[in-house]
């Protein structure tokens, strides 16, 4: 598995390599809600303002994410959380 680095929204939106906590490839990270606060935290309404494609064994599936790369509503760790890949 690649070395994981904290998710960086700007780098991800600019095409830097991203993968999930459990090592699945991620592509097409994009903003879908401009009303969400795009910083290192989650705004108080818990809106998921990003989507990204996760390459699963059965194909590519699109999932929602928070701006910090998290996939869990209350900031808990999840296998689908997004990380940058160290090259």
The pLDDT-based confidence of 76 (bands split at 50, 70, 90) is: confident
Domain count of the fold of the chain: 1
Q: Which two tokens stand for residue 30?
A: 């994009």
Q: Which domain holds residue 62?
A: 4-85
Residue among 26, 21, 17, 16 nearest 1 (CA): 21
| Per-residue pLDDT tens over the stretch 58-74 | 999 999 998 889 987 76
The DSSP secondary-structure symbol of 2 reads P
More confident residue, 38 or 15: 15
Q: Residue 77: what pLDDT?
A: 87
Mean residue pLDDT of the chain comes to 84
The length of the chain is: 87
How far is it, in rounded angstroms, from Cα 54 to Cα 59? Answer: 8
Q: Residue 67: what pLDDT?
A: 84
The pLDDT-based confidence of 39 (bands split at 50, 70, 90) is: low
């Amino acid at each position: 598995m690649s070395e994981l680095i904290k998710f960086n929204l700007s780098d991800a939106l600019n095409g830097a390599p991203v993968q999930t906590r459990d090592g699945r490839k991620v592509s097409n990270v994009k903003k879908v809600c401009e009303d969400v606060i795009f910083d290192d935290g989650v705004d108080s309404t818990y809106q998921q303002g990003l989507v990204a494609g996760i390459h699963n064994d059965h194909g590519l599936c699109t999932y929602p994410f928070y701006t910090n790369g998290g996939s869990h509503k209350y900031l808990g760790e999840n296998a689908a959380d997004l990380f940058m890949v160290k090259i």
